[in-house]
Amino acid sequence: MKTITKDEVTHFINGEKVKGKNNKYGYVYSPSTGQQIATVPYASAEEVDETVKSAKQAQKEWASTSLGKRAKVVQRFSELLTQHTEELARLIGKENGKTISDAKGEISRGIESVDLAMGVAQIVKGEHSTNVGGDINAYSIKQPLGVVTCISPFNFPVMVPLAMSTMAVAVGNAMILKPSEKVPQSAIRMSELWKEAGLPDGVWNVVNGDKDTVDAIITHKDVQAISFVGSTKVAEAIYETGTKHHKRVQAFGGGKNHMVIMPDVNLDKAVDAFIGAAYGSASQRCMAISVAMPVGEQTAKAFTEKLKAKVKDLKPGAFDDNNADFGAVISNEAKQNVLKAIDEAVDEGAQVIVDGRKPNVENEDGFYLGATLLGDVTPDMDVYKKEVFGPSREIVAVESLEEAIDAINEHEYGNGVSIFTNSGVAARKFTQEIEVGMVGVNVPIPIPVAYHNFGGWKGSRFGEGQMFGPDTARFFTKVKTVSERWFDDGDMTSTTNFNFPSSD
C-alpha cells in the first residue's frame, strides 16, 4: 500500500489547536485510495487531565452566561456549518470514503440538531407551582452537569458529534469530544467553527486517542456524563465502566435492521427503498437495512428478482466520483471482515445472489467492496445474528407477518425496523408488537428528525438516555427542586412542629 506525505492532526484544547505530547500516534487513511493521509496523536492520561481542568474552569462562566447569549452562539455555529458545507463534505469524503452527496446529507441532518439547540431557553424551562401548602411555592431548575464527554464513531464524522454534543453545550456544559481516530480532521474543523461562532475557549475541546485515552476520559473524577456511539461490544464496556465510576452514561451500539415487505405493497417502490437504505454509505450506518424479509413465497420470489437486477448495477467509487452510488469501506480490516462474513455465510448454506467481493474499480488500493446480496439465509445462521458493517445484505423469507415479528423480536439487536405495506391493520399490528426502538412504516431508514428522540432497544443501547430530541437536554442536565416560603415581618408568631410536612 503506497504511503504519501502526511499531515499531523492536532487536538483542540482550551480554544487552541494543540500538538500531541504523548509521542503515541495512529494513522489516518483515505478509504478511496488506501493511502495514508495523516497521523493522529493519542492523548495520554496527563493530557486528558489538563483538558478536563481547563474545561471545568471554562464551564463555570459558560453556565452563568444567559440562555439568550448561548442561543446566539449556537445560531452562529449553525450558520457557519451551512456556509462551510462543501468544505466539510470533502473532509468527510476524504477521511471516511462516503460520496460527497452522501456527506452533504449527513451535514444537513447534523445541522438539524444544532438548530434544535437554538431553542434551549424553551427546552430547559422548569416547572412552578404556587402555594403547594403553607404558603410555600415549589419550582424546578434544570442545571448543567459540568464537564461531559462524547465519543463518536467513524461512520458519521459530523452528524453524530453534532447530534450528541450541541445540546450539551447549549444547556451550559463544557464538552470533550473524542472522535474516532479514523476520522479526526472533521472534528478539528468543527472546533474552529465553534470558536469563530463565539464559543468561549475551553467550553468545546477535542482530544484524539485510542482505548487508553477513552479510559482516561470516562474514569476521570470530573467528567460527569458519557455519550457513546459505536459497536455493541464497546458500548456495553463503556456503559459498565462509566457507571462503575458513577457517571451518567448513554451508549448506543449496533443494529441488525429488518425491512418487512408485505404482499400488498408496490414491489418496485419497496426495492428502490431497500437499495438506498441497505447500500448507502457502503452500508456503514447503524440504521442501514441489513435484512429484507418478504412475506410469502410469491412475494419473496418477485422481490428477489427485481432486487437482483438493480443490485447488480450498483457502482462503488471514490468519494468525489459523481457516478458512484457509494464509496469505500473505512479500512482494509473492515473490508476483510465483510469478506469473511460472506464466506462464512456461504459455508452455512447461504446463496450468493449478487457477488460484490471483487468490484471493478479504478483504484484497487482503495478499500472497495461491491454490493453483495445473499439469499436462502435463515435466522440460525451467524451472518443473520451478527451486524455486517459493509455492503453485504441478506434476504430472509417468512410465511407470515407474525413469523416476521417473532424473528425480529428474538434478535439481539433492536435499533431500527421498517414495514412496507398498504394495510393500516398490518402496520398497526407491527408498530404495536415489534420490540425495536425506531420503527418505519413505508420509511426505509426510520431515523428521527432532530426534535424527536433517537435510541434503539435491547443490545442496541445501554442506559436510558436518548440522542436527538428533548431527551438530549434531559440527559445533560440535572433537576433541582426548590420549595420556597417568605415570612411576613409583621407576623411574630412561631411554633415548633415535629410532624412530617404535608400539603394540608
- CA-based nearest residue to 177, from 197, 157, 204, 212: 204
Q: What is the dihedral of CA 466, 144, 12, 461, to 10 degrees?
A: -20
73, 111, 394 from 115: Cα distances, Å: 11, 6, 37
Residue of 286, 264, 255 lying closest to 442 (CA atoms): 264
CA nearest 95: which of 39, 162, 175?
Answer: 39
Using alpha carbons, select from 223, 203, 188, 162 the residue that is nearest to residue 472: 162
* Residues with catalytic roles: 286
Cβ atoms within 10 A of the Cβ of 503, count?
9
Residue 122: other Cβ atoms inside 10 A: 9
69, 164 in Cβ contact below 8 A? Answer: no
C-alpha cell at 502: 404535608
Q: Which residues contact 435 (CB under 8 A, 6 or more apart)?
A: 408, 409, 414, 457, 458
C-alpha to C-alpha distance for 93 and 187, rounded to whole angstroms: 14
Burial 355-365 (b: 16+ CB within 10 A, else e): bbeebebebee
CA 313 to chain centre: 30
Q: DSSP letters of 155-184?
A: S-TTHHHHHHHHHHHHTT-EEEEE--TTS-
Angle at 89 between CA 84 and CA 95, to 5 degrees: 130
Q: What gap in Å lies between CA 41 and CA 23, rounded to an integer? A: 7
Residue 246 backbone dihedrals phi, psi, to 5 degrees: 65, 35
